[in-house]
Amino acid sequence: MLKVGLTGGIGAGKSEVSRLLVGYGAVLIDADRIAREVVEPGTPGLAAVVDAFGTDVLTAEGALDRPKLGSIVFSDADRLATLNAIVHPLVGARSAELERAAGPDAIVVHDVPLLTENGLAPLYDVVVVVDAGPRTQLDRLVRLRGMTGAEARARMSAQATREQRRAVADLVIDNDGPLEELEPQVREVWAELTRRAAAKG
């Protein structure tokens, strides 16, 4: 099994890269999706979040109000650390379970937004960074995700810098350009991952 850590700043285009990799045969373990699952209604994760942040972070239906929680944690490093201390161990346990189920010959891609920030690079055989300049990120967040400029900048500044991410990368995919320039690069990365998996096997 080849364990790949895939990361990139918000708005860098990581989801598109992971979609392409799955198309080539990768097994995807998406930390963001798991992070949503572990705080669904009725889970111990959601109970722990409510204990820490109060019932104000719930919707009328009793689900987690993500925008509300986001507005609390993204402007307060201590509250963010509290949230991470609840969610990260749950995500880690579920990811390990999915990885074990993938089989010995799989190329398992862990999509981990905060890989750099949490010092997780050593956990993977290969780290792939999807890179885009801050102007590109800002444009995508405002244009495609409907954030205000201020919201987008706050999210970006809560993450590692571009330089910090590139420093932990084994392979870098440049996603500053249009979509059609992305696919050939991802195909090349997949060929390299396949080579490394064979060498490891």
Q: pLDDT tens-digit profile of 112-166? A: 988 999 899 999 999 999 999 999 999 999 999 999 999 999 889 989 999 999 9
Please state, as a whole number, how many other Cβ atoms lie within 10 Å of the Cβ of residue 3.
19
**2-200 placed in CATH 3.40.50.300:** yes
pLDDT tens across 25-57, in order?
Answer: 999 999 889 999 999 999 999 999 999 999 999
Contacts of 131 (CB under 8 A, 6+ apart): 8, 9, 12, 162, 165, 166, 169, 172, 173, 174, 175, 176
Say what the pLDDT of residue 158 is: 86
Residue 156 one-letter amino acid: M
Residue 74, pLDDT score: 83
